[in-house]
Amino acid sequence: MRILLVEDDPTVRGFVVKGLMETGHLVEQADNGKDGLFLAVSEKFDVIILDRMLPGGIDGLRILETLRAQTNATPVIILSALADVDDRVAGLKAGGDDYLTKPFAFSELLARVEALGRRGRNEAAPQTKLEVKDLEMDLLSRTVKREGQKIDLQPREFRLLEFLMRHAGQVVTRTMLLEGVWDYHFDPQTNVIDVHVSRLRQKVDKPFEQPLIHTVRNAGYMLRAD
């Protein structure tokens, strides 16, 4: 993916750029709002990572608002030291697709960037069926089958699996699951999510030879075919 990173802190910028390049992405960078805005409007990117507070008079929200005013729908993830719920809402209202508070784990950023990039490509056609190898999910009849065998899932388990399948091949962090499946925007102290995933595994993976749901160390989970 071609990614634009607008971030003024050189250490954070270097660290993010390096990480993204290592995972096979092309990264353009800008260290101030003016250059960032120029790059964002003049070139085409799959995802833009935008720091909220930038030097040079143009802050992240201004860039975002300008982009959206030009009907540029490039997915934007906002990085911010402002963790307040109201700030988050303001960021999303301005047209941001995701919001990540500093400090963040790189794995969290990467997972979110990849999820956003994928969403940008998939959004055109609404799906009624999800398939990962021999696992099938029918979104209309709300049934799940593996190797043709029906799997009974609770409604919440169904939504958890749906989220994992929609992000098949990508790392999904616990926070993303908590936000996407439960719509909770805080971190519970204990790893409630792990228990839910392990229950899902009992039903989806255990009876079958090859596991699909993998744990990614220090990051989260990934549903993948191999």
Partner 1 sequence: MEQSSSRRSHFLRFSLRSLRNQVGGLRSAGVRFALGYAILFWVSAGLFLSVIWWGTASLLQRQVEASVAADARSLSERWADGGLSALAITIEDRLEDNVDDDALYLLVDQHAERIAGNLPSWPEAVAMSNVWYQLTIRRAGVRGIAEVQAFDLPKGYRLLVGRDVRGRSTLRHLLTDTLFWAWGVITVLTLIGAFLVRSMFRRMISSIARTTSAIAHGDMDRRMPVSGRGDELDEVAEAINEMLERITRLMDGVKQVSNAIAHDLRTPITRARAQLEYAALHAKDENTLRSAIEEGVADLDNITAVFEALLRIAQIEAGSRRSAFATFDLIPVLQDIAELYEPLADDQGIRLVLRAPDHVEFHGDRSMIQQAVSNLIDNAIKFSPPNGTITLSIATGFDFGSDDRSSGRVVTVDVSDQGIGMSPADMERASERFFRANAARNTPGSGLGLSLVQAIVQLHGGSLRFVLQDPGLSVQMRLPLPEENGKKQVPDMTEDSQTSHPPDRRPLLEIQS
Angle at 15 between CA 181 and CA 184, to 5 degrees: 15
Sign of the four-CA dihedral 75, 173, 134, 226:
positive
Residues 47-86 as x/- pattern, contact with partner 1 by CB under 8 A? ------------------------------------xxxx
Residue of 18, 142, 185, 206 that binds partner 1 (CB under 8 A): 185
Residue of 93, 142, 156, 206 that binds partner 1 (CB under 8 A): 156
Binding flag, residue 188, partner 1 (CB under 8 A)? yes
Counting residues that bind partner 1 (by CB under 8 A) gives 21
CB 20 within 8 A of CB 113: yes
- Ranges within 96-135 binding partner 1 (CB under 8 A): 101, 103, 105
Residue of 130, 192, 216, 219 that binds partner 1 (CB under 8 A): 192
| CA 97/CA 92 separation, integer angstroms | 6
Q: Tell me how far, at minimum, the Cβ of 51 lies from partner 1, in Å.
A: 18
| CA 18/CA 6 separation, integer angstroms | 14
- Output the CA–CA distances (angstroms, integers) from residue 106 to 47, 99, 202, 212, in the order listed: 16, 14, 30, 24
Q: Tell me how far, at minimum, the Cβ of 209 lies from partner 1, in Å.
A: 25
| CA 167/CA 171 separation, integer angstroms | 8
Binding flag, residue 18, partner 1 (CB under 8 A)? no
Nearer to partner 1, 129 or 142 (CB): 142
CB 64 within 8 A of CB 50: yes
Stretch that binds partner 1, among 49-57, 141-149, 180-188, 208-216 (CB under 8 A): 180-188
Residue of 2, 159, 199, 203 that binds partner 1 (CB under 8 A): 199
Q: Tell me how far, at minimum, the Cβ of 167 lies from partner 1, in Å.
A: 20
| CA 27/CA 14 separation, integer angstroms | 11
Q: Tell me how far, at minimum, the Cβ of 89 lies from partner 1, in Å.
A: 8
Cα-Cα-Cα-Cα torsion 179, 184, 190, 191, nearest 10 degrees, comes to -30
Per CB under 8 A, residues contacting partner 1 are: 83-86, 101, 103, 105, 156, 182, 184-190, 192, 195-196, 199, 218
